Structure 1
C-alpha cells in the first residue's frame, strides 16, 4: 500500500537565496515495508562539515554525528590535504540515527533544506570539490529514496536551477581530526561560527522546531 503524500511548504533562507520549497514526502513503492533499523547510518556532504555537523546533531533521534572525509581516492587524508581539492574527498559527516525516532526520509528533508543543492562544488564562499553537495548511500533503500527525492524536487521545479547533488555508493569514511569534531559547539565565538554557522543553524532550528532534541 502506498504511503499518502504529505505536502508541506517551508521557507529556505540559509545564507543563500530564499526559496519557497513545496516539498513532497512520499516513500517510493519499491521500498515500502522494508525496515532496516533501528540503528542506521547516513552520510551526507553539504559544504563545510562544521555546518552539517552542527545542524544534524540537533535532530531528535540522531545519536551521533561525525565530521570526516569521503568520496575520494586518497587514503587517510588530512584536513589541509582535502582543502587542496586534489584528493577527491568531500567534507562530509556520518549520521548515526535511531530509525524508530527519525526516518531516513526525514534526514533527506533536512539535507535538502540545510544547504543549496544547486551550487556546483561550492556552498556560499566555500569553493572547491571538497564542498560539493553529495549523498553517499549505504544500501539500495537509501539509494532509491535519494533518487526519488531528487526526481520529485526536479519535476516540481522547486529550485530555479538544476540540482547537482552527487548520489554515490558509500565506500569508506575517514574521521576528521579531533579539532573538527563538535567544532561549532566548542568554538561558538570563532568568526566563521558566529557569522556563517550560527545564522544557518538558527534557521535550521526554526524549520525543524518540532523535531529537535529537548
Structure 2
C-alpha cells in the first residue's frame, strides 16, 4: 500500500490536504479520487471520467500521471468523453455504442478495419494543380482530388498505396510536399463513424 502523503504528492494536493473536500473544485475532487485509488497500490485502476472538470494544467498533470503509471506496469481503464486526451495515452481502446461493444484495439487498427469508409488526406504542396492531376491520373488510390488553400484534399480507399505513390508522383512533376496528413484517423473520428453506423 502507498502512504497517503505520497498519494497526495503524486496528484499535487498536499497544499490543500487539510481542507474539507466539500470546498474543493470539481478538478480537485477528481485528483483526490485518483489519490484515494492510489493508496491501495492497485494493479488495475478503473477511473470514470477522471478528466471531467479539470483545468488544462490539471488535465495535463493527470494524463502525465496515467502515462507514468502505465509505464510502471499498471493497467488503467478510463471511461471518458474527452477522446482527444484519451487517445494520447491509450494503447488500446474499447468503443461501446448503445451499451454494445462496437470495436476494440488500437485506434489505427479499428480505423483500418472500416473498409467502407474512405480516408480523407490533406497534402500541403507548392504545386497543387500539377500534383493533383498527376495523382488522379497515376495513382489507383486517389478516388477524388480537390484543391484547398494550402494544397490538396484527397479521398482514398487505400491510404497505404496513396502514401507510397505520392512521393514518387511529386518527384516526377517537381512538386515539394510539406505535409501528408490523414484527417479522420483520430479516436473522435473513429467513434463518430461507429456511432453513425457509416
Where on the TM-score scale, by shorter chain, does this alignment land: which range?
under 0.3
Normalising by structure 2, we get a TM-score of: 0.25
Structure of larger gyration radius: 2
Q: Scaled by the length of structure 1, what TM-score is found?
A: 0.23
Higher relative contact order (CA 8 A, sep 6+): 1
